[in-house]
Amino acid sequence: MTAAPRYQRLVELSPDDLRQRLNEALRLYVMAMRYPASTVQQRAPMWLSHMLREDWRCVAALDPEDTLVGIGYGYRGAPGQWWHEQVRRGLVSVAGAAVADRWLQDYFELTELHVRPDAQGRGIGETLLRRLLAGVPARRVLLSTPEGPTRAWRLYRRVGFQDVLRNYRFAGDPRPFAVLGRSLPLDGEPR
């Protein structure tokens, strides 16, 4: 039995840094989300396009051998983006346009936050989350996560995320997802 990986340091990755590590990051993503390996090639163009969005930022946890143990990224959400439009449609259908407008205005989309399964439960996800959201120039943060009792759910609840939309099915994934949100900054962090 091998020892669980530990992260040695957190680093902020530029778009060029992430491009160089894209296959490694996508393999981590596929492992954490339990997607088929073929998802790596399907997601690469999307991750590359996300790097071009306003206020994009990325944080990674690296082990002593400089291997990714965790990664998170996001950007300013806006009308016309796929996720924004999917969530808006879902919110309008269950809560009305006013609620959708309130949540989907001046927000940072926490697009990806993943920790290798063999390194979960050690605080890496929360450390990545806090570092990624520190100083974000938006009033709130939104994310989607698969429904169910997972470590990710416990993390998001512990950090104060609330339900925005539950049991939503995004195009292309049969699982039900929850959209969660909260105001920024996180507790104890300066505005």
Domains of the chain: 9-183 (3.40.630.30)
Task: Identify the active-site residue in 29, 73, 75, 156.
Answer: 156
- How large is the C-alpha radius of gyration of the chain? 16
Going 53 to 74 to 66 to 26, the CA torsion angle's sign is negative
pLDDT at 188 (0 to 100)? 65
Residues 125-160 have pLDDT tens digits of 999 999 999 999 999 999 999 998 889 999 999 999
- The answer to whether 10 touches 60, Cβ cutoff 8 Å, is yes
pLDDT score for 191: 54
Query: How many CB atoms sit inside 10 A of residue 101's CB?
Result: 12
Chain segment 42-86, per-residue pLDDT in tens: 899 999 999 999 999 999 999 999 999 999 999 999 999 999 999
Rounded to whole angstroms, what are the CA distances from 151 to 118, 124, 155? Answer: 12, 11, 6
Give the mean model confidence (pLDDT) for residues 122-127: 94
State how beta strands 9-12 and 57-62 pair.
antiparallel
pLDDT tens digits along 163-187: 999 999 998 888 899 999 999 999 7
35 in active site: no
Please, are residues 115 and 70 in contact by the beta-carbon 8 Å criterion?
yes
**CA atoms of 160 and 116, how far apart (whole Å):** 23
CA trace torsion 179, 112, 110, 89 (10° rounding): -40
- Single out the residue of 78, 85, 147 nearest to residue 109, CA to CA: 78
